[in-house]
């Protein structure tokens, strides 16, 4: 009789040769120079900004690239936006072989379209793909292809601060078998959506419920990967929090009740030590449970560059909801905000914990604290081409 542990070990042994072959294949790499373009015969007109609901309107074209273990990456295609034709036995439906990214393109004052830090998204996408045994690719090749996709629909990139083109690269396993194994087929596709502010209320502070009755991620898991499987299980706790008057969950972990993320975003807190007067901007460390956010990284870099080091410390460390509550009670909590590609910076005004609200200070008559407002302004200036910051913005189209 075979024990359960023996069955598991045998299953892993059977999978390892397939995994090694998938990772060492000498098949064709992703090649943007082979791109085939089929343009739509019925181009659409831009919608007014006030009609743009986040993620509901799509551009006219999409990018698709098939992959199989024998041949590698096929010819990339840009074609009219359409549905996908997939076998019901596809492994993406049954075993969750799916990952995605989210990045944005912006109109600049000189009528160019730029993408914001796409190299960071491609790096993270490859890490996600490797984690679930889907194929990796040359980041610069996919960036070039996404640029070509944006060029086809550049007239649909909306104008105005707060408006952009949201880009969604996605990869799925398409092996049509119910056996649990390394996928031998995959599809990478990219769609895009003209968007306005993620929250209908715009730049408005939200209320959070500190959540210890559900866990977003755990050590050794995949909380630092952009997998669809990380998101669906978080919806029920969000609905439960909403029923108690909160917009999002503030995710806690472990007996220490350490703060990890907020909703689908990274989260920052600002404190000031009453004795020394020193201020601190803090966010959780990248320990494998925290998503490696592009906006998070941008905020940390800008804060370290622009804030006075004699006044501010910028730290990535563990901190708990109990620390936040204690420091708020002493008047040492200055601000809190979430950060992510969709909402960019989202101010926080209250946190529900143990039956009470921890109030987060806001500027009089405004919806954020001064640091939150400043960081949002710094990032927006770079994204919309009003300021330059290294190679963070990459031009992909010219509207002239």
Q: Tens digits of per-residue pLDDT, 212-235?
A: 999 999 999 999 999 999 999 999
At 51 the pLDDT is 93
Confidence of residue 198 (pLDDT cuts 50, 70, 90): confident
Give the pLDDT confidence score for residue 17 in this predicted structure: 47
Q: What is the pLDDT of residues 249-303, one digit of tens each?
A: 999 999 999 999 999 999 999 999 999 999 999 999 999 999 999 999 999 999 9
Give mean pLDDT, residues 169-188: 97
pLDDT at 25 exceeding the cut of 70: no
Kindly tell me if the per-residue pLDDT of 166 is higher than 50: yes
Contact 384, 165 (CB under 8 A): no
- Residue 5: phi and psi, rounded to 5, are -60, -35
Of the candidates 389, 349, 371, the one whose C-alpha atom is nearest the C-alpha of residue 303 is 371
Question: Which band of pLDDT confidence, cut at 50, 70 and 90, is reported for residue 3?
Answer: very low
Q: Strand, helix or coil at 326?
A: helix
Per-residue pLDDT band at 211 (split at 50, 70, 90): very high
pLDDT at 13: 40
Sequence-distant (≥ 6) Cβ neighbours of residue 205 within 8 angstroms:
347, 348, 349, 360, 362, 367, 368
pLDDT surpasses 50 at 68: yes
Strands (E), the chain: 36-37, 61-68, 72-73, 77-80, 98-100, 103-107, 112-116, 164-173, 185-195, 206-211, 248-253, 258-262, 266-272, 279-283, 312-316, 333-340, 344-353, 356-359, 393-398
Band (pLDDT 50/70/90 cuts) for residue 86 is: very high
Query: In angstroms, rounded to a whole number, what is the distance separating the alpha carbons of residues 166 and 156?
Result: 11
Average pLDDT, the chain: 92
The DSSP result for 129-177, as a single string, is HHHTT-----HHHHHHHHHHHHHHTGGGSPPSTT-EEEEEEEEEE--B-
What is the set of domains in the chain, with CATH numbers? 10-195 (3.30.470.10), 206-368 (3.20.10.10)
**3-state SS assignment for residue 114:** strand
pLDDT confidence of residue 362:
94
Residue 131's pLDDT is what? 98
Q: What is the pLDDT of residue 201?
A: 61
Residue 105 predicted with pLDDT over 80: yes
Judged against a pLDDT cut of 70, whether residue 18 lies above it is answered with no
Contact status, residue 204 vs residue 70, Cβ threshold 8 Å: no
Rg (Cα) of the chain, in Å, rounded?
23
Task: Give 21's pLDDT tier (boundaries 50, 70, 90).
Answer: very low
pLDDT at residue 343 greater than cutoff 90: no
CA-wise closest residue to 102 among 133, 125, 135? 125
Residue 288 to residues 144, 230, 317, 366, Cα–Cα distance (Å): 29, 13, 13, 35
* 361 has a pLDDT exceeding 70: yes
């Amino acid at each position: 009789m075979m024990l359960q542990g023996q069955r598991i070990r045998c299953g892993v042994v059977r999978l390892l040769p397939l995994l090694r072959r998938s990772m060492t294949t000498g098949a064709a790499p992703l090649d943007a120079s082979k791109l085939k373009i089929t343009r739509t015969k019925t181009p659409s007109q831009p919608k007014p900004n006030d009609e743009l609901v986040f993620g509901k309107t799509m551009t006219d074209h999409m990018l698709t690239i098939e992959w199989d273990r024998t041949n590698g990456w096929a010819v990339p295609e840009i074609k009219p936006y359409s549905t996908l034709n997939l076998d019901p036995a596809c492994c993406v439906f049954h075993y969750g072989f799916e990952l995605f990214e989210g990045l944005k393109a912006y109109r600049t004052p000189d009528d160019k379209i730029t993408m914001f830090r796409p190299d960071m998204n491609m790096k993270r996408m490859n890490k996600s793909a490797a984690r679930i045994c889907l194929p990796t690719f040359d980041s610069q090749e996919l960036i070039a292809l996404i640029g070509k996709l944006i060029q086809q629909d550049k007239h649909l990139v909306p104008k105005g601060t707060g408006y952009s083109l949201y880009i969604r690269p996605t990869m799925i396993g398409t092996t049509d078998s119910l056996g649990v194994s390394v996928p031998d087929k995959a599809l990478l596709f990219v769609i895009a959506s003209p968007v306005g502010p993620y929250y209908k209320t715009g730049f408005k502070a939200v209320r959070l419920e500190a959540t210890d009755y559900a866990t977003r991620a755990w050590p050794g898991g995949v909380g630092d990967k952009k997998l669809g499987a990380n998101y669906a299980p978080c919806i029920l706790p969000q609905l439960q929090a909403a029923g108690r008057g909160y917009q999002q969950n503030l995710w806690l972990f472990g007996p220490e009740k350490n703060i990890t993320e907020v909703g689908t975003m990274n989260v920052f807190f600002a404190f000031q030590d009453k004795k020394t007067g020193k201020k601190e901007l803090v966010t959780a460390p990248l320990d494998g449970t925290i998503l490696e956010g592009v906006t998070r990284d941008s905020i940390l870099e800008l804060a370290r560059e622009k804030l006075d080091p004699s006044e501010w410390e910028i730290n990535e460390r563990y901190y708990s909801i109990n620390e936040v509550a204690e420091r708020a009670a002493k008047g040492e909590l200055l601000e809190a905000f979430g950060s992510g590609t969709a909402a960019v910076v989202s101010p926080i005004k209250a946190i529900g914990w143990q039956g009470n609200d921890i109030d987060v200070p806001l500027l009089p008559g405004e919806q954020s604290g001064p640091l939150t407002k400043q960081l949002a302004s710094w990032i927006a200036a770079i994204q919309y081409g009003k300021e330059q910051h290294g190679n963070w913005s990459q031009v992909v189209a010219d509207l002239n």
